[in-house]
Structure 1
Amino acid sequence: MRKIPLHEKGGIINEFGGDFCTVRLRIPAGLITVDQMEGIVEIVRRYNTELHLTTRQTMELVHVSPGSLESLAKDLEANGTPIGADKSEIVNITACPGTDRCRFAMIDSISLARTLDEKFFGKEMPVKFRIAISSCPNSCVSERLNEIGITGVVRPYRVPGTCTGCGTCVKYCRENAIAIKNGQIRMNNDLCVHCGMCIQSCPFHIIKADPAAYHITIGGKRGRHPRVGYHVVTVKTPETVIKVVEKVVKWVYRKAWSDSLLPDQLGILD
């Protein structure tokens, strides 16, 4: 197998004019330590470049001289923030804060992002391949606009005979999926997006929840013609999520072709 020269790797992006390049970093879920941040600042100063924060929770060193790429790559690797990906490969995996610090979160999105990064980041693909994780249907990282989107969900249910009809859950439901009839709440499963806000809002803890699950979509895209991905499966554990992602990645690797985004191929692939 041909060894890919450094300047051909996905994290090296040629700038307009051709005299300089941009170097994208690998920072899964956008989380780095203080020491790594200080290291990046020192590297930026050493190579007399600038820093750009990207929409995919990573950073780019801009206006880098091609002649310094070899030494820059070594310094970034030593700092724990190596060169990332941008071309036909699995790129930086994004995630919301998750259960680590968000009160709406249903799943540990950060741990899942790190696991997926370790297993899949940088894998060569026929198309650019993005994976994003939101821990609830608020979709703070727009995960359903990615080739693979993972959303934390929870199904609410009412304990029969104990509802007081106070209407708090009705007020908090953003989907108008709850109504009060004859002093009892009625849930509309067709409107419910399984966000869990009604569960948290109930002052009497009458609305309960099934264990959190993982809603998986494929084929989303951004750009000039954005498209929400297709729901393929909802699973119960992060281990199963990893298995599903692995199957999708293998399927796309075997079936898809270059020069066309994955969402534009889904109607043709078998």
Structure 2
Amino acid sequence: MAKINNAALKKGGFMAQKQKGYYSLRLRVVAGHMTAEQLRVVAEVAEKYGHGYIHNTSRQSIEIPWINVEDAEEVKAVLAQGGVEPGCCGARVRTVTGCQGCVSCPSGNIDSFAVANELDERYFGRDLPGKFKFGVTGCQNNCLKAEENDMGIKGGRKVTWIPDACIHCGICSKVCSFGAISDDGETLTVDYDKCASCGKCSQKCPVDAWETQPVYNVCFGGLFGNHITKAKSFLPPIESDEQLIAVADAAIQWFDDHAKAGDRFKFTLDREGWEGMVEAVTAAYNEHAPKPDEPIKPLIGTDK
């Protein structure tokens, strides 16, 4: 048997098991989304080449254990026939996680899968000094735990109260978890400094007394594992897809430029300081901010 290149196998999603010659194959599953056809071919591979079971990972992927290294190329060919690709491991951008978002969730402000797919197509597998993870969650309920990621994206809504439409029912002030809205029955006051862009006021309003625009709230430097760190937010809500991509480009490039081998984003920030990264990301945010006279464009997968 030829010498096994574990590094190359790992880059292609094959993770060595404790049993010599056997690998657990991680698949490329974006935001936990798979078709029935894809699931069928995964089951077929698990039965024919593995031990008849799969493992669902904590980041919404699927791993097929007990793949003999001699079957690796054949397994990839069979999976490809069902539209399934291997994932990746090691020091590179990993598959993006995401919730179902506004497609089916009443609380969703953005189409999380569409956003995750866009990020995955742009960054998946990019080689870096260390691993880099994105997480996309559709609303403030934060099912996907955005703050655990190197860059987390949380769907929100920029809201503007419409006085003439308001009936002062008090629902918006009751559902606001951040104390940004007060209504005494005659006058409604919004403290926009406290507003977290969660969108609940507009979602629960019975008379559509809020003008809304979907936005992305982003955070950076999260980590979950041996060193648990909550990501930090320092940018205002992002209002366009172009702005989101520009910010992500800047964050990843800063990490690529300053990280040492094996670093996580958080470790690089701790060593180099946040100032340079914040400056680079803020510059990208400002450069791609929508101009006041520009019409508002729909975000990825949203209708307004």
Query: Given the two structures, how large is their TM-score scaled by the length of structure 2?
Result: 0.80
Structure 2 distance, partners of 1:180, 1:5, is: 61
Shift of 1:75: 2.0
The answer on whether the counterparts of 2:156 and 2:217 sit within 8 Å (CA) in structure 1 is: yes
1:165-180 pair list within 5 angstroms: 165-180=168-183
1:1-270 pair list within 5 angstroms: 6-9=8-11, 11-49=13-51, 50-160=53-163, 163-181=166-184, 183-209=186-212, 211-233=213-235, 234-269=237-272, 270=276
Question: What amino acid is the match of 1:80?
Answer: G
Structure 1 distance, partners of 2:215, 2:137, is: 12
Shift of 1:224: 4.1
How many pairs does the alignment contain? 267
**Structure 1 stretches (4+) deviating beyond 4 angstroms?**
3-6
In structure 2, the CA distance between the partners of 1:232 and 1:73, relative to structure 1 (3 Å rule), is farther
In structure 2, the CA distance between the partners of 1:5 and 1:225, relative to structure 1 (3 Å rule), is closer
The answer on whether the counterparts of 2:91 and 2:262 sit within 8 Å (CA) in structure 1 is: no
Instruction: Give the secondary structure class of the aligned counterpart of 1:231.
Output: coil
Structure 2 distance, partners of 1:185, 1:199, is: 14
The answer on whether the counterparts of 1:216 and 1:231 sit within 8 Å (CA) in structure 2 is: yes
Question: What amino acid is the match of 1:109?
Answer: S
The answer on whether the counterparts of 1:90 and 1:129 sit within 8 Å (CA) in structure 2 is: yes
Question: What amino acid is the match of 1:111?
Answer: A
The answer on whether the counterparts of 2:150 and 2:231 sit within 8 Å (CA) in structure 1 is: yes
Shift of 1:52: 0.6
Shift of 1:94: 0.9
Task: Say which is worse superposed, 189-198 or 54-63, in terms of deviation.
Answer: 189-198
Question: What amino acid is the match of 1:216?
Answer: V
Map Cα deviations across residues 124-145 of structure 1 (whole Å, 9 max, x no partner).
1111110111121221111221
Could you list the runs of 5+ residues in structure 2 that have no partner in the other structure? 277-304
Structure 1 distance, partners of 2:41, 2:185, is: 63
Question: What amino acid is the match of 1:151?
Answer: K
Structure 1 distance, partners of 2:228, 2:192, is: 27
Identity of aligned residues (%): 27
Structure 2 distance, partners of 1:47, 1:239, is: 43
Structure 2 distance, partners of 1:221, 1:36, is: 30
Task: Say which is worse superposed, 138-147 or 64-73, in terms of deviation.
Answer: 64-73
In structure 2, the CA distance between the partners of 1:48 and 1:22, relative to structure 1 (3 Å rule), is closer
The answer on whether the counterparts of 1:164 and 1:184 sit within 8 Å (CA) in structure 2 is: no
Could you list the runs of 5+ residues in structure 1 that have no partner in the other structure? none
In structure 2, the CA distance between the partners of 1:5 and 1:77, relative to structure 1 (3 Å rule), is farther
Shift of 1:230: 2.1
Instruction: Give the secondary structure class of the aligned counterpart of 2:271.
Output: coil
Task: Say which is worse superposed, 86-95 or 179-188, in terms of deviation.
Answer: 179-188
Query: Given the two structures, how large is their TM-score scaled by the length of structure 1?
Result: 0.89
Shift of 1:43: 1.0
Which of the pair is proportionally richer in helix?
2
Question: What amino acid is the match of 2:205?
Answer: C
Instruction: Give the secondary structure class of the aligned counterpart of 1:35.
Output: helix
Question: What amino acid is the match of 1:106?
Answer: N
Question: What amino acid is the match of 2:220?
Answer: I
The answer on whether the counterparts of 1:169 and 1:201 sit within 8 Å (CA) in structure 2 is: yes
Instruction: Give the secondary structure class of the aligned counterpart of 1:60.
Output: strand
Shift of 1:182: 6.1
